[in-house]
């Protein structure tokens, strides 16, 4: 097959491309430039897509003996991932930009361009597995290394795009094994630190980034009965479950810590309360993506609402409004679920579907 290998400049994508070469595929490496104002060097382990990263990707391609290109997807990235990030926070929701990047960039813009150029698949360094069911259907599964599993952020791609995706690291036992393999192959990125946090917020200051883009919008922080207990500089900077940085002027009567229970963008208000008020047992989701037929009756499953969160038992069904919406009942309560988060549903290691959390209830 003709394979387009996405080379981020990190060790995972380099080893994934190497394994695709070993498998006999005709591999071409491509680095995605996602920012028009890229730093020369990355800041430690924060961020990615620096000019340094592009250089590391080129050197990896040279070692592997494959062609290498840089594709400028910065405008598409700004218009989709960054714009969605800002709009969601402004609407009082908590988005996951990695999910949106996989949806709009890696498995839409990159894949679509690759297919148009005659490539059969896109290869990335994600930790997830693709398995063929007995009926010949490709299914997305958790990675062998549970600590590195990224099926949660990949679930948004859906079955059609999964058919053109390759994840050669899905069977890797540990990240240390991948680093040793990179070193043995002579890849200079073998000891390069992993990137983390939001790639376009390289300093890790998400609130600062939001204030810079959305401006100062002072408002009230209130408790569950509406009593004003503090002030904020922008409700968009808060998320459900947050405890730190509330700067409350009045302590709770019982002396216990308070958490963000709700963000109300219409009134620019942040509602806080006791920890037990964060627990929910029901979720609704929108923009659902199914890897199987949307279940009309309740189906038992495992429910995960954070990229590295622990899945909990529950059940799911398509909502009466259609397969694009779903309802989830949790057999065990979960705390701090915010609208805008992704909810991913599993049957064992197999991904059943994904949606964006629209609401929750006790």
Which residues are annotated as catalytic? 101, 199
Kind of pairing between the strands at 219-223 and 269-273 = parallel
Tokens of 23: 């498998």
From CA 341, how far away is CA 337, in angstroms rounded? 7
Is the torsion defined by CA of 109, 115, 118, 120 positive or negative?
positive
The secondary element (H helix, E strand) that includes residue 110 is: helix 110-116
Tokens of 351: 């991904």
Give the position of tokens 């859906």: 158
Asked if 315 and 298 touch (Cβ cutoff 8 Å), the reply is yes
Give the position of tokens 């490496």: 29
Which of 272, 285, 277, 268 lies closest to 359, judged by CA? 285
From CA 329, how far away is CA 177, in angstroms rounded? 38
């Amino acid at each position: 097959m003709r394979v387009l290998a996405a080379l981020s400049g990190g060790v995972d994508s380099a080893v994934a491309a190497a394994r695709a070469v070993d498998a006999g595929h005709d591999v071409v490496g491509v680095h995605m430039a996602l920012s028009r104002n890229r730093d020369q060097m990355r800041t430690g382990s924060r961020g990615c897509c620096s000019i340094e990263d592009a250089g590391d990707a080129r050197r990896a391609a040279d070692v592997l003996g494959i062609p290498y290109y840089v594709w400028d997807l910065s405008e598409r990235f700004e218009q989709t991932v960054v714009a969605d990030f800002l709009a969601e926070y402004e609407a009082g929701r908590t988005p996951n930009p990695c999910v949106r990047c996989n949806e709009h960039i890696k498995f839409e813009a990159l894949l679509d361009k690759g297919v148009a150029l005659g490539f059969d698949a896109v290869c990335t360094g994600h930790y997830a597995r693709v398995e063929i069911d007995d009926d010949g259907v490709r299914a997305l599964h958790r990675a062998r290394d549970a600590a590195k599993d990224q099926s949660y952020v990949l679930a948004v791609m859906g079955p059609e795009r999964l058919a053109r995706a390759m994840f050669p690291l899905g069977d890797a036992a540990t990240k240390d094994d991948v680093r040793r393999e990179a070193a043995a192959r002579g890849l200079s990125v073998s000891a390069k630190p992993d990137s983390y946090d939001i790639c376009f917020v390289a300093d890790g200051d998400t609130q600062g980034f939001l204030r810079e883009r959305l401006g100062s919008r002072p408002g009230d922080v209130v408790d569950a009965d509406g009593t004003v207990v503090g002030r904020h500089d922008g409700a968009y900077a808060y998320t459900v479950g947050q405890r730190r940085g509330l700067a409350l002027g009045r302590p709770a009567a019982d002396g216990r810590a308070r958490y963000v229970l709700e963000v109300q963008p219409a009134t620019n208000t942040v509602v806080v309360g006791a920890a037990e008020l964060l627990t929910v047992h029901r979720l609704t989701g929108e923009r659902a993506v199914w890897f199987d037929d949307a279940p009309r009756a309740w189906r038992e499953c495992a429910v995960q609402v954070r990229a590295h969160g622990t899945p909990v038992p529950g059940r799911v069904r398509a909502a009466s409004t259609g397969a694009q919406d779903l309802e989830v009942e949790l057999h065990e309560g979960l705390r701090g679920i915010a609208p805008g988060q992704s909810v991913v549903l599993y049957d064992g290691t197999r991904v059943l579907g994904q949606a964006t959390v629209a609401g929750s209830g006790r």
